[in-house]
């Protein structure tokens, strides 16, 4: 696999971002060997024949097409002739003004190829033309304009592909709080919560941090400890069984985790609870 980087280009200080035709971006933009990116890629194909392969799924070129490739996906252009169009490249760092766009892009990349009708093609063409013009002019305020235009392009791509934008941060944080109040089996990591809520771990972390001022990882640990304490006080499960119920394969590690978070061992906590109850 080949690690490609966003190519350098004007305006100075705006990277990590680039936009241009397949020719101006360079030959790697139409690479015919499997490779991964360290950045997001949106491709607007206006001409050509052949196949675009993404994570082993084959998508025939029937221009105009819109494609979304996420960081880490494996893709290549197979048997392509006469490929024309534009490429927009940017990393997650370029989405700081709209962090939810990263989650939307990754959802779009699960269904990464779309045949555009005339109206949709006109919308995409206009947006990419504005991006390219702003990028090449490199005038004052270009970076903020480019970030805004990328946001519009991502949201419009979501509409074209029938994928709604991620839930607002407040709704994500509320859903997380609801789940964490009584964790279900298997909800012992930030990724597990994110998967249940249909967002990326990064989007969940950002939403929870904004709403609570604390990290999702901290709150997951606390939810895990509360559940372990509940089992210790309200059931006759052994420490080994409590460890298993709260997602720990190793009871010894569970005991270390419990002591680190509470200051006492599971056994001491159970005995203390029993004494307090008496």
DSSP string, 159-226: HHTT-PPPPPHHHHHHHHHHHHHSPPTT--SHHHHHHHHTS-HHHHHHHHHHHHSS-HHHHHHHHHHH
β-strand partners of 42:
68, 88
Q: Are 266 and 255 in contact (CB under 8 A)?
A: yes
What is the reported pLDDT for 101?
84
Query: Would you say domain 169-277 falls under CATH 3.40.50.150?
Result: no
- The C-alpha atoms of residue 222 and residue 256 are separated, in whole angstroms, by 15
Rounded to an integer, what distance in angstroms lies between the CA atom of residue 60 and that of residue 183?
44
Give 3-160's CATH code, choosing from 3.30.565.10, 2.60.120.280, 3.40.50.2300, 3.30.70.1050.
2.60.120.280
| Residue 12: per-residue pLDDT | 44
Separation of alpha carbons 140 and 220, rounded Å:
44
**Would you state the pLDDT for residue 237?**
93
Here the contacts of 184-191 (C-beta below 8 Å, separation 24 or greater) are 185/245, 186/247, 187/223, 188/220, 188/224, 188/246, 188/247, 189/220, 190/216, 190/217, 190/220
Name the E strands within the chain.
3-4, 17-21, 35-37, 40-54, 57-60, 65-69, 74-90, 113-115
Q: Tens of pLDDT along the chain (278 residues)?
A: 444 454 444 444 445 789 999 999 888 889 999 888 888 999 999 999 999 998 888 899 999 999 999 888 889 999 999 999 999 999 888 887 787 788 788 878 878 888 999 999 999 999 999 999 999 988 898 889 999 999 999 998 888 877 655 666 677 888 888 888 877 778 889 988 888 887 788 888 888 888 888 899 999 999 899 899 989 988 999 999 999 999 999 999 999 999 999 999 999 998 886 554 44
Task: Please count the other Cβ atoms lying within 10 Å of the Cβ belonging to residue 86.
Answer: 22
Listed by start position, the domains of the chain span 3-160, 169-277
pLDDT the model gives residue 278: 40
SS3 call for 240: helix
Tens of pLDDT along 9-28?
444 444 578 999 999 988 88
pLDDT at 163: 60
Q: Cis (ω within 30 of 0) for the bond into 16?
A: yes
pLDDT of residue 276: 45
Count the alpha carbons within 13 Å of 147 in the hemisphere toward its beta carbon: 18
The Cα–Cα gap between 21 and 132 comes to 9
Q: Which helix (DSSP H) or strand (DSSP E) does residue 142 occupy?
A: helix 142-160
């Amino acid at each position: 696999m080949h690690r490609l980087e966003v190519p350098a280009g004007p305006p100075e200080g705006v990277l990590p971002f680039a936009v241009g035709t397949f020719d101006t971006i360079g030959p790697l933009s139409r690479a015919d060997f499997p490779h991964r990116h360290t950045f997001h890629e949106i491709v607007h194909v206006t001409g050509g024949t052949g196949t675009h392969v993404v994570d082993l799924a084959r998508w025939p070129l029937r221009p105009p097409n819109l494609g979304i490739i996420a960081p880490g996906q494996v893709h290549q252009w197979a048997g392509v002739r006469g490929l024309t169009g534009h490429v927009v490249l940017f990393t997650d760092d370029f989405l700081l003004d709209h962090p939810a766009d990263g989650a939307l892009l990754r959802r779009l990349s699960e269904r990464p190829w779309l045949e555009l009708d005339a109206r949709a093609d006109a919308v995409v063409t206009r947006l990419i033309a504005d991006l390219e013009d702003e990028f090449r002019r490199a005038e004052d305020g270009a970076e903020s304009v480019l970030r805004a235009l990328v946001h519009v392009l991502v949201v419009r791509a979501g509409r074209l592909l029938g994928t709604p934008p991620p839930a607002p941060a407040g709704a994500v944080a509320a859903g997380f709080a609801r789940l964490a109040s009584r964790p279900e089996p298997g909800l012992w990591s930030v990724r597990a919560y994110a998967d249940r809520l249909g967002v990326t771990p990064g989007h969940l972390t950002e939403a929870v941090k904004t709403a609570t001022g604390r990290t999702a990882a901290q709150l997951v640990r606390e939810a895990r400890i509360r559940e372990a304490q509940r089992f210790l006080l309200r059931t006759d499960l052994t420490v080994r069984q409590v460890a298993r119920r709260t997602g720990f394969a190793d009871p010894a590690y569970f005991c270390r985790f419990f002591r680190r978070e509470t200051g006492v061992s599971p056994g001491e906590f159970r005995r203390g609870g029993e004494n307090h109850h008496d």
